[in-house]
Amino acid sequence: MQNYPQYSSKQKWIHWLTLVLIVFVFLLVTFKVTLSPYLGGMVNVYLLHKSFGVLILGITFWRLVVIKRQGVPDVLPKHHKLQRILSKSIQGVIYLLLMIVPLSGYLMSSRSLNVFGIISIPAIDMPNEAYQAFHQTHTVSAYFLAVLLIVHIAGALFHYFWIKDKVLQSMLSRN
């Protein structure tokens, strides 16, 4: 056991798994034209994008349940008020976006949502303008999430290389 506060191993698994899934979901839409000839015959790029997006939403709900049960360790220095406020606000908005982005992805379509070819969730009937508004929400909130993640990662690296404390290790090391 290390002598600094740490996230539980379940929280670490969820955190790093979400990173892998988010990168994958972004790569799928960013390189859809390049990927399509390779995946085209077998799987649909958007089916994968949507299915893994729904998986991220599910994992985020589970993550909130885990936090409610286990709490979060206090890893930031107590006297750095601004750092604490910035870090917690960014994490809070990341959580909101991890729900808004996939939900708006679902709501922007008039066709039923096929999850991994296994589950079919019927679409909600709305006027065209509403679909368009959710489409816009999906795009804007996804890019906002990307920006916040860059700031979040920069913050973690700043702690590791500059302040040289144990914030990064609280999410990394084996218990």
Kindly state whether residue 99 participates in binding ligand HEM, applying the rule CB under 6 A: no
E strand or H helix that includes residue 92: helix 81-107
Cα separation values, 147 from 25, 89, 138, 142, 173, Å: 15, 14, 14, 9, 26
Least distance to ligand HEM, CB of residue 42, Å:
19
Kindly state whether residue 76 participates in binding ligand HEM, applying the rule CB under 6 A: yes
Six-digit token pair at 111? 């066709």
Segment near ligand HEM (CB under 6 A); pick from 33-41, 122-130, 151-159:
151-159
| Exposure letters 33-43 (e unless 16+ CB within 10 A, then b) | eebeeeeeeee
Give residues with Cβ within 8 angstroms of 105, minimum separation 6: 50, 53, 138
Kindly state whether residue 25 participates in binding ligand HEM, applying the rule CB under 6 A: yes
Kindly state whether residue 35 participates in binding ligand HEM, applying the rule CB under 6 A: no
Contact with ligand HEM (CB under 6 A): which of 13, 19, 65, 116? 19
Question: Degrees (nearest 5) of the Cα angle 13, 49, 127?
Answer: 125
Kindly state whether residue 126 participates in binding ligand HEM, applying the rule CB under 6 A: no
Q: Look up residue 161 and give its DSSP letter.
A: I
The residue ranges that bind ligand HEM (CB under 6 A) are 11, 15, 18-19, 22, 25-26, 29, 46, 49-50, 53-54, 56, 67, 72, 75-76, 87, 91, 94-95, 98, 101-102, 105-106, 113, 138-139, 142, 145, 149, 152-153, 156, 167-168, 170-171
